[in-house]
Amino acid sequence: MNAPLLAVDALTLRHRGGAETLRQIGFELATGECLAVLGESGSGKSTLARALIGLLPPGASVSGTLRFAGELLTAKRHAQLRGRRIAMVFQDAAASLHPLRRIGVQLDEALRRAASATSVAAALREVGLDEAAGFAARYPHQLSGGQRQRVMIALALAASPQLLIADELTSALDPLAAQGVLELLDRLRRERAMALLFISHDLHAVRRVAGRVLLLHAGAVDALAAADAFFAQPPSALAQQLVAAAALRRPPAEVVAAPIVEVRGLGADYARHPALREVSFALARGAALGVVGASGSGKSTLARVLLALQRGHAQSLRIAGADPFALSASARKAWRRKVQIVFQDPGSALDPRLRVADCLSEPLALHGHGARASWPQRVRELLAAVQLAPELAQRLPHQLSGGQKQRVAIARALALDPEVLVCDEALSALDRTVQAGILDLLQQLQRERKLTLVFISHDLATVRALCDRVLVLEHGRVVEQGATAAVLADPQHPHTRALIAAAGAGAPLHCADAAAEARPS
């Protein structure tokens, strides 16, 4: 039997002060194999990835052994292999790309450093970004979240690594884009005999690409099994819980009749190009509207217009009792208390210099909400509402996991008791069990406060679970809308059918025979 490409034995990581975040981790990864790493937020998934690539926080100590291609990985050898034979795609593409350099310049630099003969145009085409659209000349802020993530994949592949570590790389992608990326990674893995460590909370994605599944809990291995066996007969109580939560079937919330959002003939531009065209819909108080579509379809532009963060032009626009663009500055500030947003990227949404308590108190201070002495209690209530421990109030954002940061962002949006909450991919950073808890919370808020949700997502399972109605965008136009159950059960437009097909569990892409996987197709 051939030696594994990566061998991990008794890997334990302790932070300064003695706290363990990884405990006795052991597994092997063969050439051409895909191993998925699952686990709840804070289970150690991203910490494991950084340990494998040799990017650990100051003061951390590691015990156990890591071997790559039979060679013991020392700190010096790690540095030599990182970005070359071992590459990683991080979860937060916006923070990983240089904001002041064009995409083509960043990719050209990576290709030249790797002495690759691949052109920038070819590298972009490989990840589904057509050079004819001018992606190389754009800056990161001119790309959608999904497009930025695909650029990160192209950068990671520049040196043709033997091992690619993908940390939640599809979390920012719509179903069609995610399916394309998964198919791309699966093909590259087979053609290049590249090993893939696929960290994700998306069980549908894991089922498509993984040959085996490693489940972490509290920094330790909870289960390690073949993917087919993991999903057919979950090997542990936690595995059973995750597989069950992936179904995410919930009844819709009760809706009352009074409309709170009315949009007719809405249009808007982004980067001087039409982003929304003739968008119309109405939303009753206490209802939840799911907005779905491929990357670049106009979902986030719609969110910005609804929050008056970007000007649009409409035949009529009424949100929480007013047209925000017709209000004076002082009246618009008061209106903003009624309409809040949870952004897709919590790493950018939270001030890195403020502790969690200060992040949650800031909107209270800006709007003069309650007496200052009451703010600590309000912070505790908000943390409890999003299932976070009160001691997290004194942490900085970089001391939280991705899922914890997103929950803080949700708590911040709820601080002023809004009437309308716009969620722009608000659950994309959360694992399925945490998603289920947040969905329950949002439904409770709908029932108790008649909170109205505009829920922008590429995850049709959460849309189906939460939303009464769904609106499908393609190239800035509404191509289909209606009751969620009816639209998803019997889609009428080809784009809707394509999204639903791409979001389904589908047949696994992986082959059972690892040796066969490594052969070029």
Q: What is the pLDDT of residue 247?
A: 64
The pLDDT > 90 percentage for the chain reads 48
What integer best gives the mean pLDDT of the chain?
Answer: 86
Q: How far is CA 391 from the centre of its chain?
A: 25
CA distances from 223 to 4, 26, 29, 355 (A): 20, 11, 15, 35
Q: What is the pLDDT of residue 253?
A: 58
* pLDDT for residue 512 is more than 60: no
Q: Are strands 212-217 and 288-293 parallel, antiparallel or unpaired?
A: unpaired
CA distances from 426 to 71, 332, 341, 431 (A): 42, 24, 9, 12
Q: What is the pLDDT of residue 133?
A: 80
* pLDDT for residue 390 is more than 60: yes
Q: What is the pLDDT of residue 57?
A: 77
Averaged pLDDT for residues 452-458: 93
Burial of residue 35 (number of CB atoms within 10 Å: 0-12, 13-18, 19+): buried
165, containing H or E segment: strand 163-167
CATH of domain 6-248: 3.40.50.300
Q: Which among 430, 432, 394 is positioned nearest to 410, based on CA atoms?
A: 430
CA distances from 461 to 25, 214, 405, 428, 440 (A): 32, 23, 22, 12, 14
184 half-sphere exposure, CB direction, 13 A CA radius: 21
Three-state SS at 213: strand
CATH 3.40.50.300 in the chain, residue ranges: 6-248, 259-458
Q: 319 φ, ψ to 5°?
A: -135, 125
Supply the angle between the helices 175-192 and 494-503 in degrees, to the nearest 10: 50
Please measure the distance between the N-terminal and C-terminal CA atoms of the chain and give it in whole angstroms: 23
* pLDDT for residue 429 is more than 70: no
CA distances from 58 to 15, 16, 51 (A): 8, 8, 12
Q: In whole angstroms, give the CA distance from residue 109 to residue 86.
A: 18
The pLDDT > 70 percentage for the chain reads 93
Q: What is the pLDDT of residue 335?
A: 94
DSSP string across 140-154 = GGGS-HHHHHHHHHH
- Per-residue pLDDT tens digits for 184-242: 788 888 888 899 999 988 888 898 899 999 999 989 999 999 999 999 899 999 999 88
* pLDDT for residue 272 is more than 70: yes
Q: What is the pLDDT of residue 198?
A: 96
Higher-pLDDT residue of 125, 165: 165
Length, in residues, of the chain = 521
Buried b (16+ CB within 10 A) or exposed e, 443-469: bebbeeebbbbbbbbbbbbbbbbbbbb
Q: Is the pTM of this model over 0.95?
A: no
Range 259-458: architecture per CATH:
3-Layer(aba) Sandwich (3.40)
CB 201 within 8 A of CB 36: no
Tokens matching residue 386: 């999003």
Q: In whole angstroms, give the CA distance from residue 309 to residue 254.
A: 30
Q: Which among 306, 112, 178 is positioned nearest to 314, based on CA atoms?
A: 306
Averaged pLDDT for residues 250-267: 70
Q: What is the pLDDT of residue 252?
A: 43
Q: What is the pLDDT of residue 1?
A: 46
Q: Are strands 86-89 and 163-167 parallel, antiparallel or unpaired?
A: parallel
